[in-house]
Amino acid sequence: MSSQILTSAPSKRDLPKFDALMRPVLEALQALGGSASIAELHDWIADYLNLSDGLRSIPYGKGGMTILQYRLHWARSYLKRVGAIENSERGIWTITDAGRQMTSEEISQVKKRVRMENRLRRQQAEEDTNDNESFDADEDVDWTTRLLNTVGQIDPSAFERLCQRILRESGFTRVDITGRSGDGGIDGIGVLRMNLVSFHVLFQCKRWKGSVGSSVVRDFRGAMVGRADKGLIITTGTFTSDARREAARDGAPAIDLVDGESLCTLLKDLKLGVKVRLVEEIEIEDGFFHSI
């Protein structure tokens, strides 16, 4: 009788909890020169922790976010709350002096410190009388997760039209949906004008829940040959590390990748389906009145 080796499927239990990812986030920012995009942080930490593609790709909920992305989101959020890191409107994260100087003991207390502040704030506002202190109840599900869940429920053709609208709002002209079977995954084409130069850009829309692999990028690049100057793949999911490396491979036409989190940032910046409520702050400039 031949023996058979059984391998267990990747499980979220094999991934670090969000608080265990805080130190890697700080280490990643240090290693990457003090600042990094969300994608750079994700890939550096996943490589640093030697996570398999299977562990990196375990989906969270019904949206396009993975468990790893979700937990890294909360690690960044908690570190931001204590002033260890900060982010720009363009989604670039930087480490602060406070973050550089944080000790192991201070990092281990971040989760407790933030949750204590949350409880005090709720008590003062009398907003929540049933606090069960669970992780998901500690904060509302973040807006990117809710947005990806919403986008993930629309029809694939509607997602193509959404991508078309995003490109038009971002400065593309002559944006057409051309998706046809046997067309190498190409869904559309647009023209991007940069000062005096214009580029023809082919794009692919993937309303996916999981990760887009390197084979998708290679096939898309093959379909681009002789047809466009640049390529763009937009997904509600994520890209594997191999896919990102393939997209930026030396000697090959570059392909830009927009994953689920970047897509959410674009929708927010373009105010497409996302409304940002701002709190007005009033400051009196005494000097102005004394100078009249």
On whether the CB atoms of residues 226 and 213 are closer than 8 A, the answer is no
Q: Which one, of 144, 174, 179, lies nearest residue 158 by Cα? A: 179
How far CA 141 is from CA of 101, 145, 147, 225, 272, in Å, comes to: 30, 7, 10, 42, 20
pLDDT score for 180: 63
Name which residue leads in pLDDT, 210 or 176. 176
Which CATH entry fits the domain spanning 150-270: 3.40.1350.10, 1.10.3210.10, 3.10.105.10, 3.10.20.600? 3.40.1350.10
Cα separation of 39 and 44, whole Å?
Answer: 9
The three-point CA angle 62-63-67 to 5° equals 90
The residues of the chain that CATH labels 3.40.1350.10 are 150-270
Q: What digits encode the pLDDT tens for the residues 147-192?
A: 888 898 888 889 999 999 999 998 898 898 886 655 567 889 999 8
Reported confidence tier of residue 1, pLDDT bands at 50, 70, 90:
very low
The answer on pLDDT for 10 being more than 90 is no
Q: What digits encode the pLDDT tens for the residues 45-104?
A: 999 999 988 888 888 876 677 889 889 999 999 999 999 999 887 778 999 999 999 999
On whether the CB atoms of residues 175 and 183 are closer than 8 A, the answer is no
218 CB-contact burial (10 Å; exposed 0-12 / middle 13-18 / buried 19+)? middle
Q: What digits encode the pLDDT tens for the residues 250-279?
A: 888 889 999 988 899 899 888 888 887 776
Cα separation of 133 and 112, whole Å?
Answer: 11
Write b or e for each residue in 12-21: b if 16 or more Cβ atoms lie within 10 A of its Cβ, otherwise e.
eeebbebbeb
Q: Is the dihedral of CA 189, 190, 192, 198 positive or negative?
A: positive
pLDDT score for 80: 93
The residues of the chain that CATH labels 1.10.10.10 are 12-141
Q: What digits encode the pLDDT tens for the residues 109-131?
A: 999 999 988 888 777 765 444 44
Reported confidence tier of residue 282, pLDDT bands at 50, 70, 90:
low
| CATH of region 12-141 | 1.10.10.10
Q: What digits encode the pLDDT tens for the residues 228-243?
A: 888 999 999 888 888 9
